[in-house]
Amino acid sequence: MLVTLVDGCLCLQSDQAFVTLATNDSYAKGAMVLGQSLRNHNTTKKLVALIGPHVAEPCREVLSSIYDEVCVVDVMDSGDAAHLSLMKRPDLGVTFTKLHCWTLTQYSKCVFMDADTLVLSNIDELFEREELSAAPDPGWPDCFNSGVFVFKPSNETHEKLLTFCGENGSFDGGDQGVLNSFFNTWATADISKHLPFIYNLSSIAIYSYLPAFKQYGRNAKVVHFLGKVKPWSHSYDTQRGVVKGHSQSLNCLYAQSVVPLLQQAYGETPFNSGFFDSSEDDVSEQAAPFASPPRKFHQRKGSSAGSRQIDYMGDDSFANIERKLDSFLK
């Protein structure tokens, strides 16, 4: 193990890493903000970004400046087990890409974080937990949410997961369904594998239990932008350096840390400073490189014509969490 001097203190070079996944440029921007937030809170762990083959070169460049490792994952080129499983379930392409994190066997332990999460304090203590540790999903608390989880890379586990996925598919069409079916004793076997909700605080909590959110929300260590509308779905005002009408905390991180890197990487080439129309944004967690059908819960949007219903997973969730975030993050 390598030993380095950091700020005059003796630190062990980590064989542990935070891992994220970006299969398109839009999620790559989320990954930049996530990586930067981990750096800002002085993580001692390595940062690894798995990216799909469609992520543009300048985005890769920026990711490389923030992350220790950027690995292109092309499931079509990967091993036999992956290929065979994918042939059986072409709809699970993005899920297979995420499962690829188990092959990072150069690390002894990892924490996976979705590219739509943001770290609000140092969370290195998560590495004291064992596989598979995760926080409950607010929609069905006997399931864990797969936006943040602790795992142990292993080719054996990877193969088992792929085979399981090929044979059983996913009950929700994504990685969360597969992982909950595979690690099916999470809810009952070992309470130490239940991460506190503050490690994966989703906007939906504001609606489902507002008094608890008011009581505990300020302790949040990780926020997860679960909804269809992501922070990067909003338009960015280059002149003023702010995301129009949106969260100051996100503005600062994105405008000060990520935009200058993008400007450098793109050089003279014009680029979209980050923000896409939400209509163009993907509906399932990450659509490319495989066209997968949208998840059921997204189809709710618009189906409630007539009476105005709260769009828990969409606009309402984001608008509200950022308002709360701003009040807590001062």
Q: Which is nearer to Mn ion, 116 or 311 (CB)?
A: 116
Q: Which stretch binds Mn ion (CB under 5 A): 139-147, 161-169, 173-181, 262-270?
A: 139-147
Within a 10 A sphere around the Cβ of 8, how many other Cβ atoms? 5
Token pair in block for residue 300: 């709710």
Q: Which is nearer to Mn ion, 83 or 298 (CB)?
A: 298
Q: Which is nearer to Mn ion, 116 or 137 (CB)?
A: 116
C-alpha–C-alpha distance, residues 291 and 174, integer Å: 13
Q: Which is nearer to Mn ion, 14 or 295 (CB)?
A: 295
Torsion-angle region of 135 (φ positive above 0: left; ψ -120 to 50: alpha; else: beta): beta
Q: Which stretch binds Mn ion (CB under 5 A): 23-31, 106-114, 122-130, 131-139?
A: 106-114
Does the protein bind Mn ion through residue 114 (CB under 5 A)? Answer: yes
Q: Which stretch binds Mn ion (CB under 5 A): 128-136, 141-149, 261-269, 308-316?
A: 141-149
**What is the nearest approach in angstroms of Mn ion to the Cβ of residue 280?**
18
C-alpha–C-alpha distance, residues 18 and 192, integer Å: 20
Does the protein bind Mn ion through residue 282 (CB under 5 A)? Answer: no
Cα–Cα–Cα angle for 314, 318, 323, nearest 5°? Answer: 150
Does the protein bind Mn ion through residue 147 (CB under 5 A)? Answer: yes
Q: Which is nearer to Mn ion, 116 or 282 (CB)?
A: 116
Distances (CA, A) of 2 to 153, 210, 323: 20, 46, 43
Q: Which member of 116, 137, 282, 316 binds Mn ion (CB under 5 A)?
A: 116
Q: Which stretch binds Mn ion (CB under 5 A): 112-120, 215-223, 256-264, 297-305?
A: 112-120
Q: Which is nearer to Mn ion, 114 or 316 (CB)?
A: 114
Beta bridge partners of 137: 140
Q: Which stretch binds Mn ion (CB under 5 A): 115-123, 134-142, 235-243, 294-302?
A: 115-123
**What is the nearest approach in angstroms of Mn ion to the Cβ of residue 145?**
8
CA 253 distance to own-chain centroid: 17
C-alpha–C-alpha distance, residues 63 and 110, integer Å: 18
Burial label for 268, CB within 10 Å (0-12, 13-18, 19+), is exposed
**Chain residues in the site for Mn ion (CB under 5 A):** 114, 116, 147
